[in-house]
Structure 1
Amino acid sequence: MNDSFESNSSQGTADTPLPLPHIPIVTSVGCCLILSVIYVASLYVWNTKHNRDHPSTVKRLFVSVIIVMLIAPFFVYKFSSRELLERATFAEILGLRWQGLFLAITIPYLLTMLLFLGPLCVQMQNESLKIFMDTDFWIGSFKNILWIRNHVMAPISEEFVFRACMMPLILQSFSPLTAVFITPLFFGTAHIHHIGERLSLGMELKTALVISCFQLTYTTVFGFYSAFLFARTGHFVAPFLVHAFCNHMGLPDVQELWQQHIVRRIILILCYIVGFVGWIILLPIATQPSLYSNNLYWNN
């Protein structure tokens, strides 16, 4: 086992967690703001005549976000309290650890599937889920650079920078619940840059603003959920897999739902309601920090 993943006995126990050390608010918020700017700026450093979906553009963006992922941990190490760095290994602070790993992979993913119960039932009844049992689909997907961008590189880079590197800093200045509502603001506003992309494609300003505001809203809401998962589980893998799944599912197709026969439509609407209510009820239960041996980030 790699030493960087080993637990530090000074953390205490899951039943008696130690409070996180404190750093000034201006330090944590300032670092997160800088990281947000660096992440967005990295997407525009390349001078290219192609659009964002062109393979050459996508490959360059991969290089950019990988460099940002290498830079971001230095902010955590440099500006975190020495007490925190002594209490846990640096890998553990970033949510990279073995304890509770299997549950962090499975439970949040299943919980998110419950949230999407309605859309999943819609896909099940129109048999579109069968495609995922086809090995050719997966082979083709991993050969598709846009699929890799949307389901691998975007989730892994965004969650690492905006969760694994920002949350440890914010959590040293605010309570866990407050931190959950702060970091997503950086994540949501980081998506505003898409306004420029839409305008460059000839979209009207009013339309671009409406779409971007809508995107800001749902990325911020998702950010709340993702930050909550990181703080509760203490694992980077939980928000990463959930992010990839949500990118795959996209927003629910209400139009397809409304095209169903009345009886089937009612049943599917009930699935939407049951999934959402079940998710709300199970969220605090399925993310109990003790399940994941997380005694570092959530102490109440």
Structure 2
Amino acid sequence: MVSSTSDISFGHGSLGTQRTSCWAGILCCLLLACSYVGSLYVWRSTLPRDHPSVIRRRFTSVLVVSIASPCVVWALTEWMKILSDVPLMPLFGIRLEGVVAAGILPLLLTMMLFLGPLVQLVVECPKGILFEIKMRCNLRCVSLCVRDLKWMRNHIVAPLTEELVFRACMLPVLVPCTGPTAAIFICPLFFGVAHFHHITEQLRSGCDSWGDILITAVFQFAYTYVFGIYSAFIFIRTGHLLAPVLCHSFCNCMGFPEFGRALKHPLRPVLLFCYQLGVALFLLCLLPLTDPFFYGVTPICTLFLNPRAVCS
């Protein structure tokens, strides 16, 4: 919900200045999105995206963008004289108050949503879930994961850098203009569109038809947009970068739920019940587990003089 101009914390500037600030914020988000995606292609290579050398180079690129993005936001806020009374580090979700809750509750909420796929994994473990957990917690297994560049990209680097750039840096410049509720739905547009760059990878491989590529691109946009809404909601409600990073990493680990396999599974009734129960628990606990009570005063909500909806 976009509030009236009088509710927005832009300082004491005129209406024209406030509108300019809105456009500057949107252009800033567009710049950040283009910079992040563009950084992946500054290295010329014919190798696939999963090749170790490509992954290492892209690590370097996104690290540079992730360092530069907060500086861009800081420069914008200084230039437009907005957010002047709010420290930037807490706005980026880097703070200690409520950090333990931020590291546990949103992740637990996300696991509720994936209850069906999690139960499916448990029943399909050949040696049992306890054996699987023990193996994955083994130091040797952890060491192998850390040295696996693809694993590091999917579970550490991508979640951290994408949440920093597309949530922590974009939301502070959108919320003062649109309000927190509208920002939750606007911010993921940049995140969803940014994933269209995967079309380049598919075209380069030459394995898929244009129709398949288009269907995949639309599906990926829809999936990333919906996740972006959830991630932005979590960031605003908790005021912590850690919360969406952990949820993002967990979702990358789980992948998109395989409904088709669940429908063909011998334990289909049980799995379908767990899928439905997970969604019900998620919706039931969405607001209680993200209640700002657990996380302290959410810094980003202080940008809005009359916080409503997701901020309260």
TM value normalised by structure 1: 0.89
How many Å separate the matches in 1 of 2:22 and 2:229? 19
Q: Which residue of 2 aligns with 1:21?
A: 9
Structure-2 residue corresponding to 1:133: 134
Match of 2:146 in 1: 142
Identity, in percent, stands at 38
1:66 counterpart residue number: 63
Counterparts of residues 64-213 of structure 1 (less than 5 Å) = 64-80=61-77, 82=81, 84-87=83-86, 89-127=87-125, 129=129, 130-134=131-135, 135=138, 136-202=140-206, 203-213=208-218
Cα distance between partner residues in 2 of 1:295 and 1:146:
34
Q: In the alignment, is residue 240 of structure 1 matched against residue 240 of structure 2?
A: no
| Residue in structure 1 matched with residue 13 of structure 2 by the alignment | none
Structure 1: 4+ residue segments shifted above 3 A: none
Q: Alignment partner for residue 259 of structure 1, among 256, 259, 264?
A: 264
Q: CA deviation at 1:254?
A: 2.0
Contact kept in structure 1, 2:238 and 2:298, CA below 8 Å: no
Size of the aligned set, in residue pairs, is 279
Q: Gaps spanning 5+ residues in structure 1: where? A: 1-18
Residue deviations 1:91-122 (CA, integer Å, cap 9, x gap): 11110000000000000000000000000001
Consecutive unaligned residues in structure 2, runs of 5 or more: 1-6, 11-17, 302-306
Instruction: Quote the offset at 1:295 in angstroms.
Output: 3.5
Q: Give, in angstroms, the shift of residue 141 of structure 1.
A: 1.1
Judge conservation of contact 1:20–1:296 (CA < 8 Å) in 2.
no
Counterpart residue number, 1:289: 292
Q: Which of residues 231, 234, 257 in structure 2 aligns to 1:229?
A: 234
- C-alpha displacement at 1:197, in angstroms? 1.1
Instruction: Tell me which residue corresponds to 1:13.
Output: none
What SS does the corresponding residue of 1:191 show, helix, strand or coil?
helix
Q: Report deviation, 1:83.
A: 5.6
1:273 aligns with 2:261: no
Distance across 1 between alignment mates of 2:89 and 2:95: 7
Distance 1:295 1:152, change over 3 A: closer
- 1:66-101 Cα offsets, whole Å, 9 max, x none, are 0000110012211226462333x2211110000000
Partner of 1:12: none
Whichever residue aligns with residue 83 of structure 2, its letter is L
TM-score, normalised via structure 2 length: 0.86
Rounded to whole Å, the distance in 1 between the matches of 2:298 and 2:211 is 47
The CA distance in 2 between the partners of 1:137 and 1:85, in whole Å, is 47
Q: Is the 8 A contact 1:289 1:295 kept in 2?
A: yes
Q: CA deviation at 1:139?
A: 2.2
Q: Give CA deviations for 1:119-162 in whole Å, capped at 9, x if unaligned.
A: 00011111274433211332221111100011011111100000
CA distance in 2, matches of 1:192, 1:198: 11
The amino acid that maps onto 2:294 is L
Partners of 2:35 and 2:52 in 1: CA distance: 23
Assess if the C-alpha contact under 8 Å between 2:120 and 2:262 holds in 1. yes
2:269 aligned counterpart, secondary structure: helix
CA, structure 1 residues 83+191, in 2 after alignment: closer, same or farther (shift >3 Å)?
closer
